[in-house]
Amino acid sequence: MNNNILAILTIDTENLPSNFQEIIKHEQEVLAQWKSEGLVEHLFLRQTKNGAVIIFKDIDEAKARELMEKLPLYQFVKSVEYLQLMKQF
């Protein structure tokens, strides 16, 4: 069984800077790097456009928290919820 961490990120959309699109571009680059390194299994954007859901692969919650704090958007976080998942199939 694989150990996966689901991180539900919600950003504060009321206080975004004027260079938000630049930050999003950098965010995508970081996440693409993590995907290529095998750290991220899936990334889902929320339909409400106020965050994302990231499924980390084969890491523990402490490592997921450490990685999340490195995201460019983390400075605009309203909340992050972490759930430990056990992949069945």
pLDDT of residue 15: 86
**Could you read off the pLDDT of 31-66 as tens digits, one per residue?**
999 999 999 999 999 998 899 999 999 999 999 999
Domain boundaries, the chain: 3-86
Class level of CATH domain 3-86: alpha beta
**Could you read off the pLDDT of 6-39 as tens digits, one per residue?**
999 999 999 899 999 999 999 999 999 999 999 9
pTM: 0.90
Q: Which single residue is written with the structure tokens 């975004």?
A: 16
pLDDT of residue 89: 78
pLDDT of residue 9: 96
* Average confidence (pLDDT) over 78-89: 90
Give me the DSSP letters along 10-72. Answer: EE-GGG--TTHHHHHHHHHHHHHHHHHTT-EEEEEE-TTSSEEEEEEES--HHHHHHHHTTSG
